[in-house]
Amino acid sequence: MKIVLIGRAAFGERVFQRLIQSGEEIVGVFTPPDISGRADSLKEQVQKSGVPLFQPARMRSPEVYEEYIKLEPELNVMAYVTDIVPENMLNYPKSGTIQYHPSLLPRHRGASSINWAIIQGETKTGLTIFWPDRGLDTGPILLQKEVDIDPDDTVGSLYFNKLFPLGVEALVESIELIKQGRAPRIPQDESQATYEGICTEKDAIIEWAQPALRVYNLIRGTNPQPGASTTYRGKRVKVFDSELIRENQSGLPGEVVEINSRGLTVACGDGNVLIKRVQPEGQGKITSAEYVAQTQLKAGDRLG
């Protein structure tokens, strides 16, 4: 079956490698243009293989479709797509188009589905391989895989340790089901649908008066991107590695109640969070100990 792969970055690269290993016939790969002169890792792999590579600025450009149909694809595989793929391209192959999404659709439609699942304190999520249509993550479901969100998972650990590798294999499994004629098209239950916008820095501002668990979920649900933020002496500081402290140490919200070798313990509305790694404004990420030495922060000072 002739496959066109549309994707980018490490996930697209790994899907490409895995499909080649599986003996699939990839007739073309579409990936975004280079950013600031840096070649995408998927691009580098495709160039080594000799498979035709395309880097259109916009997938919706008419000339892109003209190049695409020359490949005579029988299936499109979308692996981390950030551009809008037009309907005529989605519907062109006789076997259609399948796409990976890192949530259990119809829950958490949108580009920041991993962030919001953690921020909202959920204990389970997963991935969906679905048949995309003109809507945003609204097409029929082919298959789903569920994973646990562990209490200390961050966006990084949840994606790279669980949803990334499982997603690659789910796409391979889906292609096999299509070839066998056994791939379902299960309509999404719109009554269960949720959508959240892209998680931005504005969504990641810490409110220390919130319960400690909620603050902790925000920090890990924005680690590594976009990074939860607070302020100290009027300057922004982003908070990354952290730990929920079950013991309740008295202090006003945002007050640093303890400093030790592990980091800064900060009081919240009903508990505390230990901050282990931060990123001061205009700098790279450093340990809390380095931040204390740099700013002379002390117990009793307040963040935010």
Three-state DSSP class for residue 237? strand
Tokens of 229: 């933020």
Q: Are residue 171 and residue 208 in the same domain, yes or no?
A: no
Give the confidence band of 175 by pLDDT, cuts at 50, 70, 90.
Answer: very high
What pLDDT sits at residue 297? 97
Output Rg (C-alpha) for the chain, integer angstroms: 22
Give the confidence band of 79 by pLDDT, cuts at 50, 70, 90.
Answer: very high
Residue 225 located in a structural domain: yes
Q: What is the mean pLDDT of residues 57-71?
A: 97
Residue 226 located in a structural domain: yes
Tokens of 293: 């030495």
Residue 105 is part of which domain span?
2-192
Residue 303 located in a structural domain: no
* End residue of a domain, out of 192, 212, 243: 192
* End residue of a domain, out of 144, 173, 192: 192
Sheet with 242-245, side-by-side order of all strands: 242-245, 272-275, 263-267, 256-260
The domain tally of the chain equals 2
Q: Are residue 59 and residue 110 in the same domain, yes or no?
A: yes
Q: Are residue 236 and residue 261 in the same domain, yes or no?
A: yes
Q: Are residue 121 and residue 242 in the same domain, yes or no?
A: no
pLDDT 10s digits, 164-174: 999 999 999 99
Q: Are residue 178 and residue 262 in the same domain, yes or no?
A: no
How many whole angstroms from its chain centre is CA 66? 31
pTM of the model: 0.95
Tokens of 234: 């009027």
User: Residue 40: pLDDT above 90?
Assistant: no
| Residues 6 or more apart whose Cβ sits within 8 Å of residue 67 | 54
User: Residue 14: pLDDT above 80?
Assistant: yes
Q: Are residue 188 and residue 71 in the same domain, yes or no?
A: yes
pLDDT 10s digits, 103-156: 999 999 999 999 999 999 999 999 999 999 999 999 999 999 999 999 999 999
CB-based contact 196:116 (threshold 8 Å)? yes
Which backbone phi and psi does 211 adopt, to 5 degrees? -55, 150
CB-based contact 76:93 (threshold 8 Å)? yes
Q: What is the mean pLDDT of residues 196-225?
A: 97
Domain holding 37: CATH number?
Answer: 3.40.50.170
CB-based contact 122:194 (threshold 8 Å)? no
Query: How many whole angstroms separate alpha carbon 263 and alpha carbon 42?
Result: 38
Residue 301 located in a structural domain: no
Closest by CA to 1, choosing from 104, 71, 103, 56, is 71
* End residue of a domain, out of 192, 216, 237: 192
Q: Are residue 223 and residue 135 in the same domain, yes or no?
A: no
